[in-house]
Amino acid sequence: MIETKTLSKAVEKDLAELKTKIAQFKNNEIDEERFKAFRLARGVYGQRQQGVQMFRLKLPFGKLTPDQLETIANLSEKYTNGNLHFTTRQNIQLHHVRLEDTPEMWEALERVGVTTKEACGNTVRNVTASPNAGIDPNEPFDVAPYAQAVFEYFLRNPICQDMGRKFKMAFSSSEEDSAFIFIHDLGFIPRVKDGNRGFKVIVGGGLGAQSFMGQVAYEFLPEDQLIPLIEASLRVFDRYGERERRHKARLKYLIEPKKGLGLDKFLELVAEERKAIANKSYSINYDLVKQEIPTISDDQVPEGLTTDEAYEVWKKTNTEEQKQKGYFTVKVRLPLGNIDADRARKLADVMRRWASPDLRITLNQGVILKFVKEAHLLAIYHELKALDLVNPGFDTLADVTACPGTDTCNLAVTNSTSLALELENLVRDEFPHLVDESNIKIKISGCMNSCGQHMVANIGFHGSSIKYDGKVAPAQQVVIGGGVEPGGAGYIAEKVIKIPTKRIPETVRTLLLDYEANAEETEYFNEYFRRQGKIYFYDLLKHLADASTLTAEGFQDWGLTNDFVPEIGVGECAGVMLDLVGTIINDAKDRLASGKESLEIGRWADAIYYAYNTFIIGAKASLLDNDVQCNTHKGIIDDFQKHIVDEGLINLPASFEEIVLQINKHEPSEGFATVYLKQAEEFLKGIELLRASSTAVDKLVINEFYKA
């Protein structure tokens, strides 16, 4: 029997709002693009197939209980194609979901402690962490409670609901960086200094068309300053971050030394925001995530279980001793990150019988079961074998990571999943001695956006195309040399050459044979790549890039029999949208109403930020009504003064900047919240009067402010 929870008032409000918005959308009362922004922030994402959605769950650091996994499996079977897709962001995605079913699915998830709120959109995305947090022999302390605290603090927080772009954070369990913190907006490595806990802080990493290594902001930040730092950083990102050019709207561009603020200026602005935040210090409750060690008797192990060579290989590659003496982690490979509902339910039962009720999703799209006694490994092996879940080589060369590609994604250029299976077969059949090679990873993305994290692979690929003789062949951009090296140093891969996708197995074969033939003894693959140099590998692979020798099959993508036709849709993370000025003003009214609600329940900081949003959105509406292009919040503040106030179109008691930026000059008190909200209300009345006097026709404008 699955144990369920009572819904909170916040969740009930969210569910009611989603049902209302869906009905309004169906009745053509809400513009499609505006509704899209709304549903994205609830985890509902359009997929390649028309009329169905991808529903993304938000699972902090990939933690799942058996009840949660079983519930997700049941929902997948009832409402979707019956498949659970585990992602590189430690999430689960359900595909082919009808929009009308999402409220009921969301409610069922919330009753077992899972949310979809802010799983997509311009929000703080899923907070990831090393899957072995809490059991890592090298960790100074368990980072899971910190990741959970960050998740809880910023969920539904007004600071991060309408940012210019998404924001990602990660916690490594140790200096070895098993969470790829260097590719996140904010990344944290646990450290202890003079007996006190804290973190090394990395800022401004990111993948995508342009990949950036994060910069070190602090070598040691005391643990009580973790959430204050994040909150102040989000405020600065919200105010100064790009909003017009979607491809430049990430923190990595904001802190660029030449084109952006630079790290020093960013940290200076962060320091200025500290006065305005509610918590100058924030203590973390270590009990937010408790270690649950099962009490399982050895008597439960069935008699007559036998071992064989396959078991020994599995034990070598798919289990690992924890820091807790006598217990092991069992690693379960999920090919392509997929598992059907029936096996997911049975996996939940395996957890109940043999492991801690604390499964963790891994960054390579698998899962780990914790606190398994060594004496129980053979029993759990046989149960997993019955589910076809004992493929050896977890997180090794044989375990290829791949995004869904053209199976479901609008932005994908090529098929990632079929290629991944081909490469796994290649390693298994031709390089069986490398099935346990954990220092070479292959990752594939269907496009340059890097959902498969190809830029942090030792050997990576992203979907592309090659034109030859009037035809288009599917291709892969080959990148080499990325990932986390032994010891924890992170590297972004280098682009080497573009090769037709049907020749990628030969590409991998060539790279591995060359490495085995020419690398020095104990030389790590990336060291070999750097020693030989990019040009060496370009020359090594150049013959495979020659499109003039392609056969008819070379113009077909993996898994397909028809000739390749590029069909790139408009992703829901980019593009412009049309909007009405009047609708934008209504958004400002919504923020004002939320501010008043927050004031009534004593959430002064939230009330203040809603008031700030009222000023910004109201000013934006007026600027767009006067054909002034809008970009950053800071730009809106400056332009409103120049084009509206200085032109005498509206009277204010002080400069617009002075009024709005009171937000970072005052402590978040009841008194200031009351005054600031009142000022915002009066300002919005002025905006409405100005609009009423200028035109009676609602103007259609180009607007990217609400895109996700």
Look up the CATH number of the domain holding residue 690: 1.20.120.330
CB 444 within 8 A of CB 416: yes
Say if 3 falls within a structural domain: no
Same domain, 342 and 406: no
What average pLDDT does the segment 201-215 reach?
94
Token readout for 260 is 């952006």
- Give per-residue pLDDT as tens, 274-296: 999 999 999 999 999 999 999 99
At 327, give phi and psi (nearest 5°). Answer: -120, 150
Lowest-pLDDT choice from 163-177, 557-571, 611-625, 687-701: 687-701
Rounded Cα distance between 15 and 466, Å, is: 46
pLDDT for res 132: 97
Same domain, 426 and 545: yes
In angstroms, the first-to-last Cα distance of the chain is 38
481: which DSSP letter? S
- Provide the whole-model pTM: 0.94
pLDDT band at 706 (very low <50, low <70, confident <90, very high): very low
Percent of the chain clearing pLDDT 90 (strictly above):
84
Say if 708 falls within a structural domain: no
Look up the CATH number of the domain holding residue 20: 3.90.480.20
Same domain, 221 and 167: yes
Rounded Cα distance between 708 and 706, Å, is: 7
Q: For strand 442-445 and strand 401-402, is the pairing parallel, antiparallel, or unpaired?
A: parallel
* Structural domain span for residue 19: 9-110
pLDDT for res 36: 86
Tell me how long the chain is. 708
Task: Give the closest residue to 361 by CA, choosing from 95, 93, 181.
Answer: 93
What average pLDDT does the segment 522-547 reach?
97
The sign one gets for the Cα dihedral 511, 517, 518, 524 is: positive
Residue with tokens 């992170």: 490
Cβ contacts of residue 384 below 8 Å, gap of 6+?
A: 330, 332, 347, 350, 390
Rounded Cα distance between 219 and 284, Å, is: 20
Residue 382 Cα distances to 244, 321, 344, 490, angstroms: 55, 19, 16, 37
Q: What is the largest CA-CA distance in the chain?
A: 89
What average pLDDT does the segment 314-331 reach?
97
Token readout for 29 is 């009362």
Same domain, 177 and 277: yes
Same domain, 689 and 595: yes
Same domain, 278 and 320: no
- Give per-residue pLDDT as tens, 1-50: 898 999 999 999 999 999 999 999 999 988 887 888 889 899 999 888 88
- Give per-residue pLDDT as tens, 455-491: 999 999 999 999 998 899 999 999 999 999 888 899 9
Token readout for 119 is 């799983």
pLDDT for res 463: 95
Number of domains, the chain: 5
Residue with tokens 């292009």: 629
Cβ contacts of residue 304 below 8 Å, gap of 6+?
A: none
Look up the CATH number of the domain holding residue 326: 3.30.70.3340
pLDDT for res 391: 96
Same domain, 51 and 137: no
- Give per-residue pLDDT as tens, 365-404: 999 999 999 999 999 999 999 999 999 999 999 999 999 9
For 401-448, where are the alpha helices, taking DSSP H only? 417-430
Rounded Cα distance between 602 and 605, Å, is: 9
pLDDT for res 695: 54
Position 502 pLDDT exceeds 80: yes
Say if 120 falls within a structural domain: no
pLDDT for res 568: 59
Q: At what angle do helices 66-79 and 102-110 cross, to 10 degrees?
A: 170
Same domain, 380 and 414: no
pLDDT for res 697: 55
Look up the CATH number of the domain holding residue 440: 3.30.413.10
Same domain, 320 and 270: no
- Give per-residue pLDDT as tens, 74-97: 999 999 999 999 999 999 999 999
Say if 391 falls within a structural domain: no
Position 311 pLDDT exceeds 70: yes
Q: For strand 83-86 and strand 338-340, is the pairing parallel, antiparallel, or unpaired?
A: antiparallel
Say if 246 falls within a structural domain: yes
Same domain, 548 and 444: yes
Say if 358 falls within a structural domain: yes
Same domain, 583 and 542: no
Q: Is 156 left (phi over 0), alpha (psi -120 to 50) or beta?
A: left
pLDDT band at 573 (very low <50, low <70, confident <90, very high): low
- Give per-residue pLDDT as tens, 595-621: 999 999 999 999 999 999 999 999 999
Say if 568 falls within a structural domain: no
Cβ contacts of residue 536 below 8 Å, gap of 6+?
A: none
Position 537 pLDDT exceeds 60: yes
Q: For strand 44-46 and strand 53-56, is the pairing parallel, antiparallel, or unpaired?
A: antiparallel
Position 342 pLDDT exceeds 80: yes
**What amino acid occupies position 409?**
C
Task: Give the closest residue to 58 by CA, choosing from 68, 49, 48.
Answer: 68
Say if 298 falls within a structural domain: no
Cβ contacts of residue 275 below 8 Å, gap of 6+?
A: 664, 665, 666, 667
At 324, give phi and psi (nearest 5°). Answer: -80, 110
Please count the other Cβ atoms lying within 10 Å of the Cβ belonging to residue 413.
26
Please count the other Cβ atoms lying within 10 Å of the Cβ belonging to residue 104.
14
Same domain, 151 and 213: yes
Residue 490 Cα distances to 202, 531, 532, angstroms: 12, 17, 19
Rounded Cα distance between 244 and 647, Å, is: 25
pLDDT band at 699 (very low <50, low <70, confident <90, very high): low
For the chain, the average pLDDT equals 93
pLDDT for res 493: 97
